[in-house]
A and B are shown apart, each in its own frame.
Chain A
């Protein structure tokens, strides 16, 4: 989505779906939905749970990648926005007993609002100061649940338990809950990617890129820098909020222990691994940060290692993958995919 426009001379001859950005993205969205559906019916329930986790993680990472990759602002605190979304959804589902769709909309909108407030502060901060402020957010916000006045509402350290959404009976009595959860997350992911892809191609997306490259130049050419940065925070927090709402219904919980600093950092890791600014990269990154810890733990368990070693294996593997990817593709996995794609095309032409 960030690559340069197709060469002008090709445009008139290209089919309609390639000429219209909206139509092209719609085609991808339909393809994506189809792919997700095929995947989910081919997989067993536990893999569907992982698929759902990948999907909501990808939504949060896609939001983060818009913030950092497009508008050039860094956030070390996106886990806090995920927490806001999760708590919002949990409260509405359990206390107010809303149905799922409006809950997710409110979780998204509510978190976007919080993000806008943070964005207002963030627009005045640069580089390490912004990183520090968002880091404080990641550390501080989840402990609000333990604040005395909010204890009864938010459940304190124990958090809130969320009942999972039940698959409709029309799907059959034995339809696995995990597949239903992955469908909900999959649809949300495709919608979010569709919207973000359009946003990135819109005037706002172009303004964001301008602001990222040079704030002074952007301001000189008539871009409202602060407003653009705040909007980026708003959109990005909204994505994290939606991811949080989905997190709550997939993991059946909203609890402070789930929204650690490690979550914020793993979202950033996913964005960097996949390729900052690339929506497809957000999906690759989400796949890695969701599956890798799980696999490495399994691996360590099977190898029957001493506990001190065993406990550290997932972290070591995490580090190794990060180093390897960054060494091989400094621009993230998506840049590698593009490079391989270019090589293949060149070979075919020869």
Chain B
């Protein structure tokens, strides 16, 4: 049969499509009944921004978590299995997150997702992961939304949620800066809203003289900062990502306004903020010493500070850092990722030799995990919330200095209470004990 011209195009088109699509099909698959698990390996996946606006700082988390797993693998792994992390770049675009997460689950057949980053991105795949019964552990975001065990039994948060942190900071402000005028500078989304919900539980509303939002992406915050300056606030609480902590400080500096700053841990890592301060100042033709400008910034910390060389966890993480990722800065992001990687290894250890997805969830719900954190987790059948609080820290000499005892609370109306258990020491070989 002689095909006429046009149908040939159609056939060519179909054939081309079939070829291209089947070429990318196939891929790896687990040998056993549990996806991603063999006798020697366990494959996990993660999505995070390696490129784009959200990449600075956050892009370090993939390599850092992988480095921690490499270190554990070099010591023999967990139950004889090596942990392989495949992290992919979603550029903070939720449409990419959906495609890549489905690729990790359907094509790569990962056993679990670990440390996937971002609220606007990850909220779009929670339904898919839960209906596919894929453990979705330690989402890197402080959204209160990960803690919905009834609706999303496979999703778990990791860091203290923004409301918990807001309560601890609010408690501190109410006690230490009593009767001073307070202003909020906040990211105009769930992060800012959840954080203020916590702050407002403790800070006297008659003292809150200004609330100024910013839109991420719009770097001109002069209007907001001068409004706060005009309000005469002596204390400014920042619910900001690191870039906006730096922008606030620089803009206030130009106005000659120097209030006491209190910031959510999200935007208070001294290394990251100091670096951003110097970069931004350089872009506008000025030169500043970033570490001087962050002096006195109050925040709440739930992990040991990167500068605390006495801490056994920092010693362990520094060793991993120097061996596997010496080119990355040793900052809060690296410690964050190594810490959740360690927690995952702990849960894997607890789940036992016969690894299944349900076994992992059961082990996690049994709870009792302590590790790099200063406070315990809240994991259990009724709660998928991560760390329960933090410890007030102040930046002195460019380093986070902790004060008082760690504090814990919930994201409801519960009080802020001290937590007195000492932090356990890190295992020498980096592998969590059975």
Pairwise interchain contact B120-A255, C-beta atoms closer than 8 A: yes
Q: Which residues of B contact A53 (CB under 8 A)?
A: 99
B204 at the interface (CB under 8 A from A): no
Pairwise interchain contact A50-B21, C-beta atoms closer than 8 A: yes
Pairwise interchain contact B10-A31, C-beta atoms closer than 8 A: yes
Chain A stretch 18-63: residues in CB contact (< 8 A) with chain B: 18, 24, 27-28, 31-32, 35-36, 38-39, 42-47, 49-51, 53-54
B30 at the interface (CB under 8 A from A): no
A258 at the interface (CB under 8 A from B): yes
Least CB distance, B50 to chain A, in whole angstroms = 5
Pairwise interchain contact B94-A258, C-beta atoms closer than 8 A: yes
Pairwise interchain contact A42-B6, C-beta atoms closer than 8 A: no
- With A24-B6, A307-B59 known to touch, is A251 a contact of B17 (CB < 8 Å)? no
Pairwise interchain contact A157-B189, C-beta atoms closer than 8 A: yes
Pairwise interchain contact B188-A156, C-beta atoms closer than 8 A: yes
- With A35-B14, A257-B94 known to touch, is A158 a contact of B4 (CB < 8 Å)? no
- With A39-B17, A163-B127, A257-B92 known to touch, is A251 a contact of B189 (CB < 8 Å)? no
Contact string, B97-111, partner A, CB cutoff 8 A, digits 1/0? 011001100110000
Contact string, B39-74, partner A, CB cutoff 8 A, digits 1/0? 000000000001100010001000100000000000
Q: Which residues of B contact A35 (CB under 8 A)?
A: 10-11, 13-14, 17
Q: Which residues of A contact B289 (CB under 8 A)?
A: none
Pairwise interchain contact B94-A301, C-beta atoms closer than 8 A: no
Q: Which residues of A contact B92 (CB under 8 A)?
A: 257
- With A42-B22, A301-B86 known to touch, is A253 a contact of B93 (CB < 8 Å)? no
A335 at the interface (CB under 8 A from B): no
Choose one: A39, A163, A178; the contact of B14 (CB below 8 Å).
Answer: A39
Chain A stretch 200-239: residues in CB contact (< 8 A) with chain B: none
Q: Count the A-B residue pairs with Cβ separation under 8 angstroms: how many?
A: 139
Pairwise interchain contact B24-A295, C-beta atoms closer than 8 A: yes
Interface SS of chain A: helix
Give Cα A258 to B22, complex, Å: 27
Least CB distance, A63 to chain B, in whole angstroms = 19
Chain B stretch 2-41: residues in CB contact (< 8 A) with chain A: 4-14, 16-18, 20-22, 24-25
Give Cα A258 to B93, complex, Å: 5
Pairwise interchain contact B128-A252, C-beta atoms closer than 8 A: yes
Choose one: A146, A252, A341; the contact of B5 (CB below 8 Å).
Answer: A341
Least CB distance, A329 to chain B, in whole angstroms = 15
A198 at the interface (CB under 8 A from B): no
Choose one: A31, A251, A291; the contact of B98 (CB below 8 Å).
Answer: A251
Pairwise interchain contact B94-A251, C-beta atoms closer than 8 A: yes
**Interface size, chain A (Cβ < 8 Å):** 55
B258 at the interface (CB under 8 A from A): no
Least CB distance, A22 to chain B, in whole angstroms = 14
B210 at the interface (CB under 8 A from A): no
A287 at the interface (CB under 8 A from B): yes
Give Cα A210 to B211, complex, Å: 57
Give Cα A47 to B5, complex, Å: 29
A159 at the interface (CB under 8 A from B): yes
Pairwise interchain contact B127-A252, C-beta atoms closer than 8 A: yes
Name the residue of chain B whose CB is nearest to the CB of A51.
B21
- With A39-B21, A291-B24 known to touch, is A284 a contact of B14 (CB < 8 Å)? no
Give Cα A49 to B128, complex, Å: 13
A2 at the interface (CB under 8 A from B): no
Least CB distance, B294 to chain A, in whole angstroms = 26
Pairwise interchain contact B10-A46, C-beta atoms closer than 8 A: no
- With A157-B216, A252-B128 known to touch, is A44 a contact of B106 (CB < 8 Å)? yes
B388 at the interface (CB under 8 A from A): no
Pairwise interchain contact A255-B124, C-beta atoms closer than 8 A: yes
Q: Which residues of A contact B98 (CB under 8 A)?
A: 251-253
Pairwise interchain contact A287-B17, C-beta atoms closer than 8 A: yes
Contact string, B215-233, partner A, CB cutoff 8 A, digits 1/0? 1110000000000000000
Chain A residues within CB distance 8 Å of chain B: 18, 24, 27-28, 31-32, 35-36, 38-39, 42-47, 49-51, 53-54, 143, 146, 156-159, 161, 163, 178, 247, 251-253, 255, 257-258, 260, 280, 283-284, 287, 291, 294-295, 297-298, 301, 307, 310-312, 337, 341, 345
The 5 closest A-B CB pairs, nearest first, are: A35-B14, A46-B106, A258-B95, A253-B124, A157-B189
A-B contact pairs, 25 of them (CB 8 A): A35-B10, A39-B18, A39-B21, A46-B102, A46-B103, A47-B24, A49-B102, A50-B24, A156-B188, A157-B216, A158-B190, A251-B99, A253-B95, A253-B124, A255-B94, A257-B94, A257-B121, A258-B94, A280-B13, A284-B13, A301-B86, A307-B59, A311-B51, A337-B9, A341-B8
